[in-house]
Structure 1
Amino acid sequence: MDFNLTTEQRQIYEYGGKLAQKYDNAYWLEHARRHAFPKELFRQIADDGFLGIMVPEEYGGAGLGMTEMALLMEGMANHGIPLLMLVVGPCMSLAHLAAHGTEFHKKELLPAACRGDIQFCFAITEPNAGSNSIRIETVAKPNGNRFSLTGQKTFITGADLADYCLVVARTKPHDEVARKTDGFTLFAVDLKAKGIEKQRVRVSIPVPEEQWTLYFDEVDLGPEDIVGEINDGFSILFDSLNPERIMVGAMCCGLGRFALGKGAAYASQRSVFGQPIGAHQGVQHPMAKAHVAVETASLMTRRAAWEFDNGLPAGGSANMAKYAAAEAAIEAVDAALQAHGGAGFTEDTGLYELYPLVRLLRTAPVNRELCLSFIGEKLLGMPRSY
């Protein structure tokens, strides 16, 4: 899997294997089953300098890009140790602050986050807006050069772990803007501020990170909290959303490989009627087909990351990567489960518990239907469907 990788990139990709020598899938799964964040694993990643991959060196990071961030995630997922907090923090939030943050963000928050002393989460989704982000209702009402933030966000990954949250809010009413994408502003919100409450969203998926609803009641924000330009937040929002799709694609590819590795090993040693079940095409072909899908999706994920790093429009490739990788991961886990038979559903195997996660990633953070609509409109030139 080192096609066209530099020596440094290959080392980043292989880092997951080194981590897994101590913090393996059994460690991850034990935390996932009780929704407990693996702090020791995260601390190790921080100490090894990988949280700041997309942050310039002058702010405590490594000064690398989306490609390296995706390789880190894919390499970890190859060994069954994915972390959603690497998506919403080091990728979506820290890279965004590095590109558009204030001097306070860059000189104070970024170095601390790169060291792992503080964490970030990201908040755009709302109960009434869902995938239609244009219709979000959270408002940051201007008051001089300050703002009063009121509203709610839901399905916010790791809000209990984070110290700060990048919040997308409307700063100008929908009916007062020339373009529907105008009037949005991003804020880096201190989650310890007065007027913030959170409530757990209980999801039926074994994963270390939990989901939360955040409530904002006239939270006071100042110019030092603004990320980017006032009322122009949507133009830079996809600096975060395309990387999110790429990171999820990388995670899915790694998890697909991990499942297929377990499936192939089991099918090679499990003998029934005098021969290994892996010799039967009915067992072998579904896993081979899934392997093709995973490796194809991995190449598209790397293409999307390369486009992003080189300042090219990455939306098409990012959506294709996310779509293809989620479908491939579901196919891979299902094929590995079928090869295991009843053993695949036992806690000792730990395989079935991957299925809810990869199935979630077909729907979140952007569902496959919206990915296909984007591809149909933007890449095939077909009429807009929504």
Structure 2
Amino acid sequence: MAGLIQDTDEHKAIRESVAGIASRYGQQYFLERGRAGEGIEELWKDLGAAGLLGVHLPEAYGGGGGGMAEAVVVVEELAAHGMPMLIWVISPAICGSIVAIHGSEELKQRWLPGIADGSQKMAFGLTEPDAGSNSHNVKTTARKTDTGWVLSGSKYYISAIDQCDALLVVARDGDLSTPEKSTLSLFVVPTDSKGLSYQEIDTSIVSPDKQFTVFLDEVEVGAEALIGQAGNGLRQVFDGLNPERILVGAICGGVGRYAIDKAVAYAKERKVWSTAIGAHQGIAHPLAESHIAVELSRLATALSAQQFDAGEPAGEAANIAKFSASEAALKALDQAIQTHGGNGLSHEYGLSELWFVTRLMRTAPVSREMVLNFVAQTSLGLPRSY
């Protein structure tokens, strides 16, 4: 189906490579693994072997040397085949980007090649039960010792840690923080560390990437676990959060494409009283409107990636991309389900099971309300509301 995005030759090749691998597995593979609580390791390894997990990471560490623009193509195309991969956003994008930008040479050598080829994964530990959207209110604490650091606290709604070799932990630096102001430091903590445990959160999301509460009970790590400079964590976090927002925009753009493609195909084939239902404006107009919204969100996502790759401030564009894409995808998915009638709720058609993971994108990684706060205050210059 024609769209507004015009791929470069390189992006077209990446998109075709992703499509080829995704088509070999099919959406039912992804959904069946999600329903059964099983992983997608075969697919993940194939993507890694094709260089599609590290397209944005430095070539010196096994990556493709590209940027967020290339990552957007990969993540969107996977979602356009019915495979919205949260772990791609978390491990290669958030964690990979933070380690690549701020990590020591030792951390880069230790983790980036494995993240790029798919042999290793890293979870991201920011969210906490009581901190919510307020990253400044992180309670998980890191204290310096003679040999490294000790971390204590808990993290909430941590995606796919059961698949991961390490957790990138955002912690309150107990030595540098004051009662008035929390100072953050970041650490790479192996998931087999003594004192680290996790418990699955029972959700309605059908995905191979499950959600967990993570407990850190006096977890000891060496000095090499620190990312960059102690106390510089807030800036480091934001170097991961903009890629996260951009790639959530990409996931939603792909889901929107998938939903509309399914609905259009059904509307052309399904006949009632000898007429294809797509001939009726009650079906055609909502799908056309959904297509317009999805395409506009894809343009916003592409622009945000372009700004990020150019080293320009990308916060506004990344937030707008995430907001517009999540709204458009949810509307497109709902309209696709409606177009299918009762079949929209059948597992055979692969639409209804995408609902909750798509609905999640309106809330995570940043809620639509916090995006609106950001735009109101930063873009429009209105007084702070919190």
Verify same fold: TM over 0.5.
yes
Displacement of 1:4 in angstroms is 5.1
94, 112, 116: which one aligns with 1:110: 112
Displacement of 1:260 in angstroms is 0.7
Q: Partner residue of 1:356?
A: 356
Residue pair 1:16, 1:79 contacting (<8 A) in 2 also: no
* Structure 1 residues without counterparts, runs of 5 or longer: none
Q: Partner residue of 1:312?
A: 312
Q: Is 1:162 matched up with 2:164?
A: yes
Residue pair 1:172, 1:231 contacting (<8 A) in 2 also: no
82, 91, 101: which one aligns with 1:99: 101
Task: Provide the secondary structure at the position in 1 that maps to 2:340.
Answer: helix
Comparing 188-197 with 48-57, greater Cα deviation is found at 48-57
Q: Distance in 1 between matches of 2:37 and 2:332?
A: 24
16, 19, 24: which one aligns with 1:17: 19
Residue pair 2:23, 2:81 contacting (<8 A) in 1 also: no
73, 84, 87: which one aligns with 2:86: 84
Q: Distance in 2 between matches of 1:81 and 1:118?
A: 20
Displacement of 1:55 in angstroms is 1.7
1:18-167 correspondence runs (5 A)? 18-144=20-146, 146-167=148-169
Residue pair 2:5, 2:298 contacting (<8 A) in 1 also: no
Residue pair 1:146, 1:222 contacting (<8 A) in 2 also: yes
Q: Partner residue of 2:301?
A: 301
1:241-320 correspondence runs (5 A)? 241-320=241-320
Identity between Structure 1 and Structure 2 (%): 42
Displacement of 1:221 in angstroms is 1.9
Task: Provide the secondary structure at the position in 2 that maps to 1:199.
Answer: strand
Displacement of 1:174 in angstroms is 8.6
Comparing 143-152 with 43-52, greater Cα deviation is found at 143-152
Per-residue displacement from partner, 1:119-176 (whole Å, max 9, x unpaired)?
A: 1110100001111111110000122462110000011101000001110001147962
Residue pair 2:185, 2:232 contacting (<8 A) in 1 also: yes
Residue pair 1:156, 1:211 contacting (<8 A) in 2 also: yes
* TM-score relative to the length of structure 2: 0.96
1:179-218 correspondence runs (5 A)? 180=181, 183-218=183-218
Residue pair 2:79, 2:251 contacting (<8 A) in 1 also: yes
Q: Partner residue of 1:226?
A: 226
Displacement of 1:259 in angstroms is 0.7
Q: Distance in 2 between matches of 1:316 and 1:93?
A: 21
2:204 corresponds to which letter in structure 1? S
Displacement of 1:115 in angstroms is 2.2
Comparing 2-11 with 295-304, greater Cα deviation is found at 2-11
Displacement of 1:202 in angstroms is 1.1
Number of positions where the alignment pairs a residue of Structure 1 with one of Structure 2: 384
Task: Provide the secondary structure at the position in 2 that maps to 1:207.
Answer: coil
Residue pair 1:307, 1:313 contacting (<8 A) in 2 also: yes
